[in-house]
A and B are shown apart, each in its own frame.
Chain A
Amino acid sequence: MFRRGIGHILRVLAVMALGVPAVGLILFGPRAPSSVPADRTVVVYWEKWTDFEGRAMRDLVAHYNETQGRRAGIYVDYVTTTGIDLKTLIATSGGDPPDLAGLWHRNVVSFAASDASQALDERAARSGITQDMLIPVFDEACRYHGRLYAVPITPAAIALYYNKDILAEFAEPLQRAGLDPETAPRTLAELDAFADIVQRRGRDGKLEMMAYLPASPDTIGWFWNSWPIWFGGRLFDPGEGRFRVDTPPFIDAYSWVQAYTARFGRKDVLNFEGSLSNYSSPRNPFMTGELAMMRQGPWFANTIRQFAPDIRYGVAPFPTIDGRERAFCEQDVLVIPRGARHADEAWAFIEWLYTAEPIRVQSRYGGTGLGYDYCEVRTQAGVERRPMPPLRPIEWICWMHCKNTPLREPSPAFLETHPNPAIEVHDRLARGPEARFVPPLPNWTELNAEFGAAYRDIWMTDVPARQRLEALQKRLDVLTEQAKRRQARYGEEYP
Chain B
Amino acid sequence: MKRTAAHSDARDGVACGLLWISPWLVGFAVFVAVPIVLSGALSFCEFDGIRRPVFIGLEHWRGLFADPLVWKVLRNTAVYAALALPVGTVLGVAMALLLNQPIPGQTLWRSVVFAPSLLPLVAVGIIWTWMFNARFGLINSALALVGISGPTWLNDASWAMPSVVILGLWSIGHTVVVYLAGLQDVPRELYEASHLDGAGPWSRLWHVTLPMISPAMFFNIVVGLIFVWQIFAAPYVMFPGGGPQRNAYFYTMYVYDQAFAYRRFGYACALSWVQLLIILALTAVAFRSSRHWVHYRGA
Residues in chain A within 8 A of chain B (CB atoms):
1-2, 86, 89-90, 92-93, 110, 114-116, 206, 216-218, 267, 270-275, 338, 443, 445-446, 449, 452-453, 456-457, 460-461, 475, 482, 486, 489-490
Contacts and interface: CB of A to CB of B under 8 A. Distances in A.
A110 B245 CA distance: 27
Contacts of B187: none
Given A216-B155, A456-B241, A489-B56, A115 B51 contact: yes
B185 interface: no
Given A218-B240, A274-B134, 16 more contacts: A1-B12, A86-B260, A89-B263, A115-B50, A206-B135, A271-B152, A275-B134, A275-B135, A445-B262, A446-B262, A449-B241, A452-B241, A453-B246, A482-B63, A486-B46, A486-B264
B245 A457 contact: yes
Given A89-B263, A110-B263, A114-B48, A274 B240 contact: no
A425 B260 CA distance: 37
A449 B257 contact: yes
B261 interface: yes
Contacts of A270: 134, 152, 155-156
Contacts of B54: 489-490
B49 A267 contact: no
Contacts of B134: 270-271, 274-275
B55 to A, nearest CB: 10
Given A218-B240, A446-B261, A453-B241, A114 B50 contact: yes
Interface string B130-162: 000111100000000000000010111100000
Contacts of B63: 482
A272 B157 contact: no
A456 B48 CA distance: 28
B292 to A, nearest CB: 43
Contact of A275 (B12, B133, B156): B133
24 contacts: A1-B12, A2-B16, A86-B260, A89-B263, A90-B49, A114-B51, A217-B240, A267-B152, A270-B134, A270-B152, A271-B135, A443-B262, A445-B262, A446-B261, A449-B241, A449-B262, A453-B241, A453-B246, A456-B241, A460-B157, A460-B244, A461-B157, A486-B46, A486-B264
Which 9 pairs between the two chains have the least Cβ-Cβ distance? Answer: A275-B135, A270-B155, A446-B262, A274-B134, A271-B134, A93-B49, A270-B152, A460-B244, A116-B50
A272 B155 contact: no
Given A273-B155, A456-B244, A489 B261 contact: no
A486 B155 contact: no
Interface of B: 12, 15-16, 46, 48-51, 54, 56, 63, 68, 133-136, 152, 154-157, 239-246, 257, 260-264
A274 B140 CA distance: 12
Most buried by A among B68, B133, B244, B263: B263
A22 to B, nearest CB: 11
A274 B263 contact: no
Nearest to B45: A489
A274 B152 contact: yes
A279 to B, nearest CB: 14
A272 B264 CA distance: 38
A116 B157 CA distance: 39
A443 B154 CA distance: 28
B136 A275 contact: yes
A475 B66 CA distance: 12
A206 B140 CA distance: 14
A492 to B, nearest CB: 9
B238 to A, nearest CB: 9
Nearest to A463: B245
Contacts of B242: 453
B72 to A, nearest CB: 10
Given A217-B240, A218-B240, A460-B244, A449 B261 contact: yes
Contacts of B239: 218
A374 to B, nearest CB: 38
Contact of A460 (B68, B135, B136, B155): B155
A445 B15 CA distance: 52
Contacts of B262: 443, 445-446, 449
Nearest to B20: A11
A115 B261 CA distance: 17
A461 B50 contact: no
B135 A272 contact: yes
A405 to B, nearest CB: 31
A110 B15 CA distance: 51
